Amino acid sequence: MSNQKIIVTGGCGYIGSHTTVALQNAGYNVVIFDNLANSTPETLDRITEITGVRPMFEKIDCTDIDAVRDAFDRHGDATGVIHFAALKAVGESVSYPLMYYKNNLVSLINVLEMMTAFNIENIVFSSSATVYGAPDTLPATEDTPTRAATSPYGQTKIMAETIIRDTVAANPKMHAVLLRYFNPIGAHPSGKIGELPRGVPNNLMPYITQVACGQREKLNVFGDDYPTPDGFCVRDYIDVNDLADAHIAALRHMIDSGDDIDVFNIGTGRGLSVMEIIRTFERATGVKINYTITARRPGDVPAIWACADKAAKVLGWRAKTPLDDTMRAAWLWQQNISKN
């Protein structure tokens, strides 16, 4: 058990809330910095119900340097930062690029500046498989070249990785882990926290659960003519609780090893098609999904999945939740939010 304090920016969001639960269950003291741009304060109540501990909370916008400085001043005794705070809707980023560059990059720069000022030396950053684009060979390893992103959102992840690398290179005391998440899905098994999409979901899993509960009529399956075994797009779907655990493994490794910078793919190592996801959801929950095949979605890569060997070898972390359990948790969460 650890009683170290960890600052979790974006901790009221989807991945941040599950990571806060995992951190608190492992004995860490968590302080969340979040402006609630894409989350609600009730998440703090739910985290408290699950763990029996209420995380500390600073309602701040990480792009506001004065607010960030004040919050670091109150929490300068933290051992590390897990930086989730970002906007993440790919399509929205194409329409509002400056909002995305400002929010995602200014937040990161402010956090890094205050970490330097307050001698907080460890940061875990939420990167994304989007940095690989459509790789020439699969699975994607950490050495697969990154590609210029097709959206401003993706570009913020490539730029953020560079900003962190340069900051660590210039500061011998600083350590960083870049976690490249593949496709996070699912919810806490209690069904008390999960993904809360605003409006029409962009992502597959919340769309499926909204169709399952009757909130949407049918799922549009984007393309059936991809050069994949069944013609549908292939992704590596990682359970959000497993993903949360990866952050703890990363923190521990960073603090124990003293490595300057490390990068890890966080996925299962297995690619699944959209149709396999639909069929697994139906089997696990007993609920049929009404769907129709439509045109490909512009910007979708045909297939990507992770080589997750480095995280297994170096962090001792691997995905462990059976996909059926992930599906049932996502469905339980959807049923809980549909009630309210």
Query: Which residues bind to ligand NAD, rule: CB under 6 A?
Result: 10, 12-16, 33-39, 61-63, 84-88, 103, 107, 126, 128, 181, 184
Contact between 93 and ligand WQD (CB under 6 A)?
no
Contact 304, 271 (CB under 8 A): yes
Contact 331, 285 (CB under 8 A): yes
Taking Cα atoms as reference points, which of 222, 252, 124, 115 lies closest to residue 181? Answer: 124
Known active-site residue 153? yes
Contact between 204 and ligand WQD (CB under 6 A)?
yes
- Name the segment binding ligand WQD (CB under 6 A); options: 45-53, 73-81, 167-175, 216-224: 216-224
Pick out residues in 290-329 that bind ligand WQD (CB under 6 A).
Answer: 297, 300
- Name the segment binding ligand WQD (CB under 6 A); options: 13-21, 197-205, 240-248, 330-338: 197-205
Query: Is the Cα dihedral 187, 192, 198, 199 positive or negative?
Result: positive
Contact between 202 and ligand WQD (CB under 6 A)?
yes
State the Cα–Cα distance between residues 203 and 92, nearest whole angstrom. 13
Q: What are the C-alpha distances in Å from 289 to residues 100, 127, 197?
A: 33, 31, 19
CB of 86 to ligand NAD, least distance (A): 3
CB of 172 to ligand NAD, least distance (A): 27
State the Cα–Cα distance between residues 14 and 38, nearest whole angstrom. 9
Number of residues forming the site for ligand WQD (CB under 6 A)? 19
Interaction pattern, residues 243-282, with ligand WQD; x per rule: CB under 6 A: -------------------------------x--------
Query: Which residues are CB-contacts of 68 (< 8 A; sequence separation ≥ 6)?
Result: 33, 60, 62, 110, 111, 114
CB of 288 to ligand NAD, least distance (A): 25
Q: Which residues, listed in sequence order, are joined to residue 29 by a DSSP beta bridge?
A: 5
CB of 88 to ligand NAD, least distance (A): 4
State the Cα–Cα distance between residues 206 and 195, nearest whole angstrom. 7
Residues that bind ligand WQD (CB under 6 A): 88, 90, 128, 130, 154, 183, 202-204, 207, 219-222, 233, 235, 274, 297, 300
